[in-house]
Structure 1
Amino acid sequence: MPGLLSRAKRPLRHTPPAYHLKAPQGWINDPCAPGYDAATGTYHLFYQWNPESCDWGNIVWGHFTSRDGVFWEHNGADAVLKPSLPYDQEGIFTGCFYPTGLRGEQGQLSVLYSSVTKLPIHWTKPYSRNAGLSVAVSNDGGREWHKSELNPILPAEPDGITVTGFRDPYLAEWPALDEMRGEKSLYGVMSGGILDHGPTVFLYAVAPGDLATWVHLGQLVNLPVRFRPPGRWSADFGVNWECVNFMTLRNASEETHFLVLGSEGGSKLELTDDDQDPQDVQSLWMAGPLEMSAEGPQMKHEYSGVFDHGCLYAPNSYEHPATKKRVLWGWLKEEELSLARRESKAQDEEIVVDRSQSNSEADVNKEKVSGPFTLFRFDSEGSEIHHYALA
């Protein structure tokens, strides 16, 4: 996309570009903290990584940079963030990017991450007080990152509740929520759930000049355990959420508020009642209005669906600085690399994932998988949406 982005002085030395994000060997999963630094014209993308093994564990962050969001370069062979202090001794987990310092300083960059003091942090295990929120800052355009002395800026989940999860910070503006609350702010969310209550998003107000202070506003979503709206195209929202991103998407004069999320503990569409896996994870989306309740701001479920019928998980996104479109990254499991994505017929459409050429190893799953794809149609007045799931 040459010509769309600033070509300011580069903060990092770039070698010849490559499309593939080739990282060191080891276990790589969630994309972390995608974002854009307008001051230097640089895109940033981090990732969860175990450099010591091809299995999960010893979680650190690696880092890529790009001049155009297409060609990427690795920022060294070593982790840029790794466990080193009591509040993150068990791992540097998924997080987000913000293009200023903690006090709004220009020329600095911040990343906020899940800092884990004790494992496990899976929704099926006791989770309370295991994970908090911490921040690191760069003064040189992203080459080096330094943990703040204020860490952890949130030591754990809000008092008085028992959570199934509390992690994966996401921080951004949300003008629709400003309008409803009557004041301007940044908004941060932590993903998770409340034991025996359901998955949710913990909502915080964050001043642009004080990224280290998160003021709890309540639970943004109130859904029961394994909530699944009627309809073939709907999805099971599970028990616990990960990697929730909020956004307002627009089409001409129409706008709708969305959450994109990773769901744990639900059943996938293709499973029968006799073949359900309680460990299932999938990427979902949810749309609905924002409302002020006695418990604080809430987003109501209006309609929803499966974000990806392939193997994409742990979605993380940012708004493109030039087009203002939403750019979303996801984790693809190594043995389930998606090649062909869609087949279309006159009135029928389905997602088809062809894994036959993903790997030459005999013990890697290469079978095709497919699922219904949600379609939308406005009536002639543009005021009504019809939903279809045709497979």
Structure 2
Amino acid sequence: MPLRPLAMAASALLAASPLALTTPATATTPAPATATAASAPAGGRACSRWTDIDGFSDALDKTTFAGAQVGELSGLTPDSGGHLLAVADESSLYTLDARTRQPLSVQSLTDGAGQPLDSEAVAVDRDGTRLIASETEPSVVRFSRSGAYLGRLDAPTALHVAPAGRATRNQTFEGLTLLPGDHTLVASMEGALSGDDSDVRRLQTWRRAGAAHDFHLAAQYAVRVDAGLNISDIAATGDGRLLILERGFTAGVGNTVRLYLADPTHASDVSGTDTAGAASDVRTVRTTLLADIASCPSLGATAKQPQPNPLLDNIEGVTVTGRTHDGRLRLLMVSDDNGNATQTTRLYSLTTRLPRR
């Protein structure tokens, strides 16, 4: 079934005042003197006809919190009360101050057997439950606000890592978003399934059903990506469409990062399809390029390794944080430094105007 257009829920703006923490905070190491924060001057913000960059911050780069280095952040989402959640690859979930972007608390995430997750993306359910995309199986793992394991939503067998399924290791669930109304959950595959064209990625949905309103497997869609790129995250726009963040890396050249708008309204349900590509009659999700991040003004950013634009790094997360007075979406993106000295943990603030259908 198509993703149903839903009215966008009122989301807390980044300037919202922080509320009481669910986990006590400990002192954080101040950002190093070399960390930068910048905003674009008026008239110099355009990345494309649709998207502007408003600023960036390296304030989290190579800092520590609660005795651990802050880094490897791969997913973002607003939490209730104006806080932000940021998930790290190493099974950690940070609560960030929405205004300063500094850590307030951190939780360690483990599965039902007490094992760490390969956590890649995060969403928040209507009751505050944290939904974490785990790339290992893959699955969506559910946690309480306090970090207690609550269970998991499994993926169809075909999306599991070979030989159990048709996916490649470390190329499974990389993006996750909950549509406004909280009835539909969407996860994105990072890489292609065997049997699909190399430029096809799958989007898996779950819908609430039954008296308990639990999530159950629902439609699956195919979307084409640019050659050499994978999907690193997705975010709901509030009208039944999705933002898709595509990312790739070429040694000696740097990163390619592009932001697309995806409309699955007329796409085929491929949950029972072994082959999705040019040779099939599958209708893929329609996409529109909103911005190539290399085309954004650099705003004085510096890079620790070659990049087409020094603003770029390994950008892995995107979320919608609110709207401007004229209806544009406010976006926040984050780069994953992979714990590497030559990469940067960077936050990017953008606004984008969505093309009409």
TM range (shorter): 0.5 to 0.7
Deviations 1:265-320 (A, max 9, x none): xx68x96xxxxxxxx86422234554414446742244466334444224212222
**What's the counterpart of residue 121 of structure 2?**
95
TM-fit CA distance, 1:93 = 2.4
CA distance in 1, matches of 2:175, 2:218: 13
Tell me if 1:81 matches 2:81: no
Equivalent in 217, 228, 231 of residue 238 of structure 1? 228
Deviations 1:175-202 (A, max 9, x none): 9xxxxxxxx9323122231225124132
TM-fit CA distance, 1:263 = 3.7
Asked whether the 8 Å contact 1:288–1:301 carries over to 2, the reply is: yes
Asked whether the 8 Å contact 1:5–1:322 carries over to 2, the reply is: no
**What's the counterpart of residue 187 of structure 2?**
189
User: Relative to structure 1, is the Cα distance of residues 335 and 258 closer, same or farther in structure 2, using a 3 angstrom cutoff?
Assistant: same
Tell me if 1:43 matches 2:84: yes
Q: Which amino acid in structure 1 is aligned with residue 319 of structure 2?
A: Y
User: Relative to structure 1, is the Cα distance of residues 73 and 213 closer, same or farther in structure 2, using a 3 angstrom cutoff?
Assistant: same
Asked whether the 8 Å contact 2:135–2:172 carries over to 1, the reply is: no
Tell me if 1:204 matches 2:205: yes
TM-fit CA distance, 1:3 = 10
Q: Which amino acid in structure 1 is aligned with residue 228 of structure 2?
A: G
User: Relative to structure 1, is the Cα distance of residues 157 and 213 closer, same or farther in structure 2, using a 3 angstrom cutoff?
Assistant: farther
Equivalent in 88, 112, 132 of residue 112 of structure 1? 132
Deviations 1:153-178 (A, max 9, x none): 33754489723432124122169xxx
Give 5+ residue unaligned stretches, structure 2.
1-11, 32-58, 271-282, 295-308
User: Relative to structure 1, is the Cα distance of residues 208 and 71 closer, same or farther in structure 2, using a 3 angstrom cutoff?
Assistant: farther
Q: Which amino acid in structure 2 is aligned with residue 197 of structure 1?
A: D
Taking structure 1 as the reference length, what is the TM-score of the superposition? 0.53
CA distance in 2, matches of 1:2, 1:290: 27
Q: How big is the alpha-carbon RMSD for the aligned residues of Structure 1 and Structure 2?
A: 4.5
TM-fit CA distance, 1:327 = 1.5
CA distance in 1, matches of 2:259, 2:323: 24
Equivalent in 155, 163, 174 of residue 168 of structure 1? 174
CA distance in 2, matches of 1:135, 1:90: 11
Q: Which amino acid in structure 2 is aligned with residue 188 of structure 1?
A: V
**Greater relative contact order (Cα 8 A, min sep 6): structure 1 or 2?**
2
Asked whether the 8 Å contact 2:319–2:332 carries over to 1, the reply is: yes
Deviations 1:229-274 (A, max 9, x none): xxxxxxxx326x2422144499xxxx9864212347xx68x96xxx
**What's the counterpart of residue 274 of structure 1?**
none
**What's the counterpart of residue 351 of structure 1?**
none
**What's the counterpart of residue 260 of structure 2?**
286
Tell me if 1:299 matches 2:285: yes
Tell me if 1:34 matches 2:104: no
Asked whether the 8 Å contact 1:43–1:69 carries over to 2, the reply is: no
Asked whether the 8 Å contact 1:47–1:63 carries over to 2, the reply is: yes
**What's the counterpart of residue 121 of structure 1?**
none
CA distance in 1, matches of 2:241, 2:153: 34
Q: Which amino acid in structure 1 is aligned with residue 80 of structure 2?
A: D
Asked whether the 8 Å contact 2:91–2:118 carries over to 1, the reply is: yes
Asked whether the 8 Å contact 1:245–1:261 carries over to 2, the reply is: no
**Greater strand fraction, Structure 1 or Structure 2:** 1
TM-fit CA distance, 1:12 = 3.9
Asked whether the 8 Å contact 2:109–2:116 carries over to 1, the reply is: no
Asked whether the 8 Å contact 1:133–1:154 carries over to 2, the reply is: yes
CA distance in 1, matches of 2:156, 2:206: 16
Tell me if 1:335 matches 2:342: yes
Q: Which SS does the other structure have where 1:320 is aligned? A: strand
User: Relative to structure 1, is the Cα distance of residues 132 and 157 closer, same or farther in structure 2, using a 3 angstrom cutoff?
Assistant: farther
Taking structure 2 as the reference length, what is the TM-score of the superposition? 0.57
Tell me if 1:65 matches 2:51: no
CA distance in 1, matches of 2:125, 2:180: 16
Q: Which SS does the other structure have where 2:130 is aligned? A: strand
Identical pairs, percent: 7
CA distance in 2, matches of 1:294, 1:152: 23
TM-fit CA distance, 1:135 = 1.7
Aligned residues: 266
Q: Which amino acid in structure 1 is aligned with residue 83 of structure 2?
A: T
Asked whether the 8 Å contact 1:96–1:113 carries over to 2, the reply is: yes
User: Relative to structure 1, is the Cα distance of residues 112 and 31 closer, same or farther in structure 2, using a 3 angstrom cutoff?
Assistant: same
TM-fit CA distance, 1:111 = 2.6
